[in-house]
Amino acid sequence: MTKLGFIGLGVMGGRIAKRLLDRGYSVTGYNRTKSKAGWLIKAGMQWSDSARSVAESAEIIFSMVTNTNALLSVTDGPEGVLEGLKRGKIYIDMSTVSPAISRVIAKKVASKGAEMLDVPVSGSVETLEAGKLTLMVGGAETTYKKVKPILQSIGPKVTYVGTNGMAVIMKIATNLNLAVQMLAFSEGLVLAEKCGIKRQLAVEIFLNSVIASPMLKYRGPFVLKMPDEAWFNVNMMQKDLNLAEELGQQVDVPLPCTSIANKFLTAARGMGYANEDFAVIFKVLEKMSGLTQ
């Protein structure tokens, strides 16, 4: 079976690597903090001490890191992915990063005789563990066809979007909706609660109404009890909204709802909520409205 590599074993990356292990693939992994990968090593993942060594040992290399700078740090330099690539290898980056930088890296990968795809995902920890994660693919369609069965081991819905960078653009366009929806949901809840309707009842009604998107169904209950570990924290969400606003400026698309949601994320950081799941924007609005609980 194809030898896989995985770089970036955080909340989502680690669980994707585990899913590949569970399907019988040989996976070699690297993470900046080795202790976070301990559970995967126990599950059968082989450990490497650098991104380069992962790329050298695997035929198909995945990465999923926090932002554009993190991606550059694992791809460039003497211990980066690029130094471990050679003809015939495929590099798949699943991070949500600058589309322009993703395309630059794709050109560098091509200069090594290898191929690159950007394959961001849509979903949450719950979606991934339920086997319902969706994937978007940017890059050469011939490369996509080579790895499609492996991608379908991660999630059942894999959609080819276009050339390098196009899937990342699609992911940014998708993710801006998350914060905007969460803010609108929070506004409705705070309004209902301030008028005397119990929060739990309002949540129940909203999540059984026409506004209940799949995202709100799993994240909406966070306003009643936040998760012990953030599924997608404020800093990560703001990174994606910043990418969206930057892209909007480049192509002359105003994103007013995105801009407002982004300001609430800034307020959340100012209130000390940076590492909380971004659903914490409810608490920001709650405080602004004078509600206590």
Annotated catalytic residues are 171
As a whole number of angstroms, the distance between CA 62 and CA 54 comes to: 9
- Cβ atoms of 94 and 16 within 8 Å: the answer is yes
